[in-house]
Chain A
Amino acid sequence: MNFPILSSIILLPSIGALFIFFGKETTVTGKQIIKYVALFTAFVNFIISIYVWYLFDNSTHDFQFVEEKEWLKGFFNYKVGIDGISILFIVLTTFITPLCIISANNNIKFRLKDFLISILIMESLMLGVFCSLDLVIFYLFFEGGLIPMFLIIGIWGGNRRVYSAFKFFLFTLLGSVLMLIGIIFIFLSKGTTDFIKLYEMGIDPNFQNYLWLAFFSSFAVKTPMWPVHTWLPDAHVEAPTTGSVLLAAILLKMAGYGFLRFSIGLFPAASDFFTPLVYTLSVVAIIYTSLVALVQEDMKKLIAYSSVAHMGYVTLGIFTLTQQGLEGSLIQMISHGLVSAALFFSVGVLYERSHSRLISNYGGLATTMPKYSLLFIIFSLSAIGLPGTSGFIGEFLVLIGVFKDNFFVAAIATLGVILCAAYMLWLCKRVVFGNVKNENLIKIKDLNKSELFILTSLVFPIIFFGIYPEPLLNTIEVSIANLIDTYNYNLNFTNKNNG
């Protein structure tokens, strides 16, 4: 495979953005062209990424489609490649982006051109995060995403958009600069930041704890873990629908991906050492944010808090370091990517129609918007993790992994599932069922074609992977197994050295 297929996946959205940059928004045809160019680029990228998944070899844990190019002479190389862990995130990203663009084409009322450029550049950067095999390249993509997201929240957001955008930017930046120190330190002590080589070399256990904390500070903010999650509800609530979807579905996954790749892979001794910390924070996040979600009056805020809780399962699963736990958290991430995107789109649909996100303003949608209500209930149930939806597979595997490791933690975490059911079902009850609350809701229109398309295309994978998760599990199995092997090998190695 000589064709640089991963680089083209990364670059293609940016090229699309460049075309849009030279387009004219002022004329009607110009606007149409811009919309179609954006949609076309994102869709082609999706096709290519599916093709890559098709070509992907499940039976090996080696990185595939590796491209390496001299970038900063003598220091860093541009190196990309994928294994079973990253391919799923790439497909998720390229799948969510076209849906975001369809939604934006209909809902964004001003400066559509700038919006589409931001989204496409965002896609490039996110794909870069999942493809990169070099810490510095990873950092570039990871941090670069701040700029378009800041603009998306700040320009097209709600009333408190400025506050939220600043909070989002400064929180994430503060976490990341410490990671930068860690990366520079690794480069200076090992002479490379290529992490395939770093996996082999291992990192001196004396420094692992500090480095782990430096990386953790960045990923914990981005995940987000309790108690640094406070930026997330603000950012979600104020961001436009599309922005919330991107944030919840993909941006948060970059942190989970970072935990898998770096915390576990590079610092096994430290991960072992800090597991109780992560357990505690995750369990607190699951219980605390679920309780907070129960009392929310704003739908978006409720879903945002539920995201924090769901990401709690992800971090919990990752640090069990069992095959089930890791596979579970990966699937939980993919599933949460789909489900939270769907829920945010759903809230967006309501907000478009009656310009309110307050739960108390709705009720009885089942009679006025039957199609919408059906889909909304399916999404809520999959957020709870009902068997038959993708949410179930992830949570179930995570909980099995945790039970193996620590019964007490598992018991508390299971409590979270019940709380999740409580707030999601209560949300459904108040919004979908009951009496029609006010006159606006009587005249409310059901889903139009594009909304129906977005939501059904999300229902399909949620149900499909819920019933038949084999394609996902097959893809990640070998890579996860290898990750655990490397982890155990390095851990034993360092333990032997220490004593």
Chain B
Amino acid sequence: MDKLNFIYPEIFTSLSIMSLLILGVFKKNSSSLINNLSVLSLVGALILILNYPLEINLNLFNGGYKIDYLSSYMKILTILSGIFILITSSKFLKVLKLFQIEYPILILSSILGMMVMISSNDLIVFYLGLELQSLALYVLASFNRDQIKSSEAGLKYFVLSALSSGLLLYGCSLIYGFSGSTNFDQISSAMIGDQYGLTFGIVFILVGLAFKISAVPFHMWAPDVYEGSPTSVTLFFAIAPKIAALTVFIRFLYVPFINVIDQWQIIIIFLSVASMIFGAVAAIGQKNLKRLIAYSSIGHMGYVLAGICTGTNQGVQSSVFYISIYLIMNLGFFSFLFMLKKDNKYYEDMDDLSGLSKNHPLIALSLLIILFSLAGIPPLAGFFAKFYIFKAVIDQSMYFLAILGLLSTVIAAFYYLRIVKIMYFDQEKIIYDKDYNLGLKLTLIASTIIILFYFIYPSKLIEIVSKIEIII
């Protein structure tokens, strides 16, 4: 058990969850304290991850738990998103009177589940992590329990998620039955010849995973859940579960099943194309910003999947790169949403942005930059993300996918432009409060600046990401 120090981050997070829970129960009115301590414990977990060299490659617990560069990087992303979510949303929750001790603790436990998912190298471990994260997410979705929409979101997410988990478990059992093991490495060595059972298993598991990242045609829950949940939870939904599910996607497809790539590649291509096109087209009719971002995230997941379907290290790197930029853009977008407050009410319709640039020029400018980046217009960061994806795709001679993907960016540009139009070309309507707290301001400014000036020094993130080598 001398390797136990490599899972200190997980141990530390679970210990903090327990102690914070006890503290919250025994100390009255401690929600602010708990929130701050949760941020601190996430920072602590981050430090613990950075404490050991990221390049190591270790199998723990009989090969069921993997610590490598991919897992460390994705854990860092997840924890960072957790930290920023807690920082930006505290004011929002206070206004909605949802600022309770359970909220940060649920986020922490969900993140713990994601960390387990990210490192899992075994179907059982993976399922364990998945359920831990999902249970917390069900509660979070219906956190604004007095609102019907929020309860509906929670219930909807619970029912559909349970269904997909069922499919996923069925897939796991098929794979176990045909390969005799749940460990990814051992499944890999048991893959000899054509085994239909395994192929079926792959399909079922892919369905379950596609549900988690809301890829078309398993996306139906996303717009409703995004709209119904409190905005801070929507932010969490938009980022963190996708990072974790993406990692599982990569590890599951690339470790045991890379040799049968022709069996799953076409499925992923279909998911990718369908998500890109559907995400772009369906978002056009939306009026609610949260629903819009739900469709936009469906589209973005299409691009991420396009990277994965290449079956190369380069493709994986481009997907990971994409999701990192996506994280920054979404943080910016949502911190913008947190600023649309007037008289203790948050606005989330597109028309509420009307003429925003006149009274709030700086916020409007930030959103303008974020939106153009989401649309993938150079020289903003979003362009580089798409560029890498399509570089990987064209490298595998999948021109059809590349052309479809780039055409769908043009369609998607339309609805991003529409928000810009409402902000900049229309008459002003509402003057919002300007009492932003520091965390919110910093997050918006930081994400805008990163997106805007990314092109000046683009190599660093690429270098970091290109150390991910899943196929050896």
- A contact set with B: CB distance below 8 Å: 70-73, 75, 114, 139-141, 143-144, 146-147, 150-151, 154-155, 161-162, 165-166, 169-170, 173-174, 177-178, 180-181, 184-185, 187-188
Check A154–B425 contact: CB distance below 8 A.
yes
CB distance from B32 to the nearest CB of A (A): 36
Q: How far is the CB of B37 from chain A (nearest CB, A)?
A: 39
User: Does B414 have its Cβ within 8 Å of any Cβ on chain A?
Assistant: yes
B residues 387-409 with Cβ under 8 Å of A?
387, 390-391, 394-395, 399, 402-403, 406-407, 409
Residue of B with least CB distance to A75: B462
B433-472 vs A, CB cutoff 8 Å, 1 = contact: the mask equals 0000000000000000000000100110011000000000
Report the separation of the CA atoms of residues A231 and B362 in the bound assembly, to the nearest whole angstrom.
31
Contacting residues, chain B, for A139 (C-beta < 8 A): 378
Is residue B421 within 8 Å, beta carbon to beta carbon, of the partner chain? yes
| Contacts A/B (CB < 8 Å), 23 sampled | A70-B459, A72-B458, A72-B459, A140-B455, A143-B377, A144-B378, A146-B377, A150-B417, A150-B420, A151-B424, A154-B420, A154-B421, A154-B424, A169-B413, A170-B417, A173-B413, A178-B403, A180-B406, A181-B399, A181-B402, A184-B391, A184-B402, A188-B391
Which of B399, B409, B414, B455 makes the CB contact (< 8 A) with A177?
B409
Q: Digit string of B260-272 for contact with A (CB within 8 Å is 1, else 0)?
A: 0000000000000
B407 touching A155, Cβ below 8 Å:
no
Is B379 a contact of A169 with CB atoms below 8 Å? no
Instruction: Identify B459's interface contact among A73, A147, A162, A174, CB under 8 A.
Output: A73
Closest to B399 in A: A181
User: With A162-B421, A166-B421, A170-B410 as given contacts, are A181 and B390 in contact (CB-CB < 8 Å)?
Assistant: yes
> Which B residues are CB-close (under 8 A) to A174?
407, 410
Report which residue of A140, A150, A174, A184 has the largest number of chain B beta carbons within 10 angstroms of its beta carbon: A184
- Using A73-B463, A161-B425, A165-B421 as known contacts, say yes or no to A184 and B387 having CB atoms under 8 A apart: yes
Which single member of A155, A170, A180 contacts B414 (CB below 8 Å)?
Answer: A170
Q: Which residue of B lies closest to A172 (CB)?
A: B410
Q: Smallest CB–CB gap between B400 and chain A, Å?
A: 11
User: Is B458 within 8 A of A71, CB to CB?
Assistant: yes
B377 contacts across to A, CB distance below 8 A: 143-144, 146-147, 173
In angstroms, Cα B424 to Cα A141, docked, is: 23
Q: Given the known A-B contacts A140-B378, A154-B425, A185-B394, are A147 and B413 also in contact in the complex, defined by CB atoms under 8 Å?
A: no
Further contacts, 9 of them, CB under 8 A, given A72-B459, A154-B424: A114-B361, A140-B379, A147-B372, A155-B425, A166-B414, A166-B421, A173-B377, A180-B390, A181-B390
Closest to B466 in A: A74
- Select from chain B the residue with minimum beta-carbon distance to A70: B459
CB distance from B277 to the nearest CB of A (A): 14
Interface size class of B (residues with CB under 8 A): 20 to 34
B131 to chain A: closest CB distance in Å?
41
Query: Once the chains bind, are B424 and A188 in contact (CB under 8 Å)?
Result: no
| A173 proximity list for chain B (CB < 8 A) | 377, 409-410, 413
A residues less than 8 Å from B407 (CB atoms): 174, 177
A72 / chain B contacts, CB cutoff of 8 Å: 458-459, 462
- Given contacts A72-B458, A144-B377, A144-B378, are A181 and B406 in contact (CB under 8 A)? yes
Contact in complex: B409, A181 (CB < 8 Å)? no
In the bound complex, how far is the Cα of B414 from the Cα of A225, in angstroms? 23
A174–B407 alpha-carbon span in the complex (Å): 7
- Shortest CB-to-CB span from B34 to chain A, Å, is 40
Contacts of A188 in B (CB 8 A): 391, 394-395
User: Contact partner of B379 among A73, A144, A178, A180, CB < 8 A?
Assistant: A144
- Measured between beta carbons, the chain A residues less than 8 angstroms from B372 are 147
Check B462–A177 contact: CB distance below 8 A: no
* Residue in B378, B410, B424, B425 whose Cβ sees the most chain A Cβ within 10 Å: B378
Query: CB-CB < 8 A to A161: which residues of B?
Result: 425
Question: Whole-angstrom distance between the alpha carbons of A126 and B246 in the complex?
Answer: 39
Chain B residues numbered 368-395 whose CB sits less than 8 Å from any CB in chain A: 372, 377-379, 383, 387, 390-391, 394-395
Measured CB to CB, the closest approach of chain A to B350, in angstroms, equals 14
- Inter-chain CA distance A154–B425, complex, in Å, is 6
Return the contact of A170 from the options B390, B403, B413, B425 (Cβ within 8 A).
B413
Chain B residue nearest in CB terms to A177: B406
B458 and chain A: residue at smallest CB distance: A72
- With both beta carbons as reference points, the residue of chain A lying nearest to B406 in the complex is identified as A177
B409 to chain A, nearest CB (A): 6
- Chain A residues with CB under 8 Å of B458's CB are 71-72
The CA of A150 and the CA of B378, in the complex, are separated in Å by 14
CB-CB nearest 9 A-B residue pairs: A177-B406, A73-B459, A140-B378, A140-B379, A143-B378, A154-B425, A174-B410, A184-B394, A144-B379
Contacts of A151 in B (CB 8 A): 424
A187 touches B463 (CB 8 A): no
Q: Are B390 and A71 in contact (CB under 8 A)?
A: no
With a cutoff of 8 Å between Cβ atoms, the chain A residues found around residue B455 in the complex are: 140
Q: How far is the CA of A177 from the CA of B411 in the complex (A)?
A: 12
What are the residues of chain A within 8 A of B395 when measuring CB–CB? 188
Complex CA–CA separation, A368 to B390 (angstroms)? 60
Closest chain B CB from A243 CB (angstroms): 14
Q: How far apart are the CA atoms of A401 and B343 in the complex, in Å?
A: 71
CA distance A161 to B402 in the complex (A): 32
Q: Which of B251-299 contact A (CB under 8 A)?
A: none
Question: What A residues does B403 contact at CB under 8 A?
Answer: 178, 181
B417–A166 touching, CB < 8 Å: yes
Neighbouring A residues of B383 by C-beta, 8 Å: 140, 143
CB distance from A115 to the nearest CB of B (A): 12
Nearest neighbor of B396 in chain A, beta-carbon distance: A188
Expressed in whole angstroms, the Cα–Cα distance for A73 and B421 within the complex equals: 37
Question: Shortest beta-carbon distance, B420 to chain A, in Å?
Answer: 8
Q: A139-B378, A162-B425 are in contact. Are A169 and B417 (CB under 8 A)?
A: yes
CA A165 – CA B420 in complex, angstroms?
11
Q: What is the CB-to-nearest-CB distance from A259 to chain B, in angstroms, rounded to a whole number?
A: 21
Considering the complex, give the chain A residue whose CB is closest to the CB of B409. Answer: A177
